[in-house]
Structure 1
Amino acid sequence: MPDFNDDLRLAHVLADAADAATMARFKALDLKVETKPDLTPVTEADKEAEELIRGQLGRARPRDAVLGEEYGSQGSGPRRWIVDPIDGTKNYVRGVPVWATLIALVVRGEQGDEGVVGVVSAPALGRRWWAAQGSGAYTGRSLSSATRLHVSRVSRLEDASFAYSSLSGWEEQGRLDGFLHLSRNCWRTRGYGDFWPYMMVAEGSVDICAEPELSLWDMAANDVIVREAGGRFTSLDGEPGPFGGNAAASNGLLHEDLLGYLGGS
């Protein structure tokens, strides 16, 4: 199995640079906010963080491709970095500390594209999570000071904690009935939102989570971390990985139950 530890160390350096840029403008009274064509907000911090990451990748990995939320796709080849400079921009704009920079590396193999490195850095929460293929998933303040992550062992839906982002999107995707039935059959449901429920699945504090409509940069880093913590990450229709336009993540034991409620449209 290839060793991606050098790429993981680079991803941490990229996250450090992004954290410095985003925290410098968090809660700034003169923060510049624009509305994108899809009617979602983008701030100067989103743009600066992605520019910093792209610049460092251009120097450290000039042959690698990059896909970012704010500046699109650049380059081609078997290695591609996936970047969401601020996942949770609406929180960022309102001063809510639940937002993060998501950085992932996807490589092309015999079975298709696969995520091999993931870093989720939430500086306003003082938290960071990361994983590399075959090396496990961790959380902590640095590579040398970290705790290994493991998903939960909850095996019954009636004992499970289910996390999601919001109700919006489920009806448009034709999955609202399944979502409501699942919510009623779980022990607990909470709308934590964005990257956070996936990290909770990896930590074992949440057992299942799902979202009906997402982009690759919303999922790529989360996918690696959940899988390396022992869980499963698929689309709502069961396609492995972060490539299906939506997400279902679990401790593995409950995954088929999760898909049974939310799969299909």
Structure 2
Amino acid sequence: MTTADDLTLALELADAADAISLPRFSAHDFAVESKPDLSPVTEVDRAVEQHVSDALAAQRPDDALLGEEYGSRGDDTGRRWIIDPIDGTKNFVRGVPVWATLIGLYDGTDPILGVVSAPALGMRWWARAGGGAHRTTAGGPPQSIAVSQVSALGDASVSYSSLSGWKERGLRGGFLDFLDDVWRTRAYGDFWSYMMVAEGIVDIAAEPDLELYDMAALVPIVTEAGGRFTGLEGTSGPFGADAVASNGILHDTALDRIGVR
């Protein structure tokens, strides 16, 4: 079994997830509940994760799994799939097409691959270690993607999710000052901010409150595109509670301005 085999499987899982989620999004025929943290969850979230979980149990029985809705199984020190069945559930519920299934595979703390599939946008991104980062649009041919070469903060485009989390962390003032000093700001939010960094459309993305399943699939795509992905304190990878992704050139500047190191 090779990383290419793993990527083939991950893309097949994304196809299956899209086949479950997109018709339900279009029909808007699903029930919505509130989880204990008051975030929304739909029966579609659960259906997608259950399908992926069952497929992995059959095809990679020795691998561990972490999913947003059903938690963990297996040993997280070895090979582990990390799944967010619908990243952007609030968008999904309101009919906003910015949502995606996130599929990551790690060997301990080392990323093996990431797939981000956003069927309502007609877009998918993926990467495997050492294989570069790629995108398809509307089912077209794969295209290689790479981060930007913007080197000055005053020329940078920054994307974020919302301001409330920065306030809760006591970082809102510094974050707003940082936004005042860049060329352009937009709140594209969720996975899309980071995929735009990987494509070179946005130069920096940051969020102050995240879970492992929000980030795991994003890291290999950003890094294989030539960028950096760390927590606010500067530690590489998705294992903190927050994130900064960039083209690499601007990363230390971003951390100095909005980080907690």
Fold-level match, TM-score > 0.5? Answer: yes
Quickly say closer, same or farther: Cα 1:226–1:160, change in 2 above 3 A. same
The 5 Å alignment of 1:209-248 reads 209-248=205-244
Q: CA deviation at 1:145?
A: 2.3
The 5 Å alignment of 1:46-61 reads 46-61=45-60
CA shift digits 1:21-59 (9 cap, x unpaired): 001210434311110000000001100000010011011
Confirm or deny: 8 A CA contact 2:30 2:43 kept in the other structure: yes
Structure 2-normalised TM-score? Answer: 0.96
What is the percent sequence identity of the aligned residues?
59
Q: CA deviation at 1:190?
A: 0.3
Structure 2 spans left out of the alignment, 5+ residues = none
Amino acid at match of 2:197: V
Partner of 1:39: 38
Moved more, 152-161 or 72-81: 72-81
Partner of 1:6: 5
Matched, 1:130 2:126: yes
Matched, 1:191 2:187: yes
Confirm or deny: 8 A CA contact 2:123 2:138 kept in the other structure: no
Moved more, 158-167 or 22-31: 22-31
CA shift digits 1:40-80 (9 cap, x unpaired): 00001100000010011011100000000000001115100
CA distance in 2, matches of 1:172, 1:74: 32
Partner of 1:116: 112
Stretches of 4+ aligned residues off by more than 2 angstroms: 27-30, 141-145
CA distance in 1, matches of 2:40, 2:165: 18
Q: CA deviation at 1:143?
A: 10
CA distance in 1, matches of 2:39, 2:51: 22
Confirm or deny: 8 A CA contact 1:128 1:139 kept in the other structure: yes
Structure 1 spans left out of the alignment, 5+ residues = none
**RMSD, aligned CA:** 1.6
Partner of 1:93: 93
CA distance in 1, matches of 2:194, 2:110: 18
Quickly say closer, same or farther: Cα 1:227–1:142, change in 2 above 3 A. farther
CA shift digits 1:159-186 (9 cap, x unpaired): 0000000001101112112211110000
Structure 1-normalised TM-score? Answer: 0.95
Partner of 2:25: 26
Q: CA deviation at 1:3?
A: 4.6
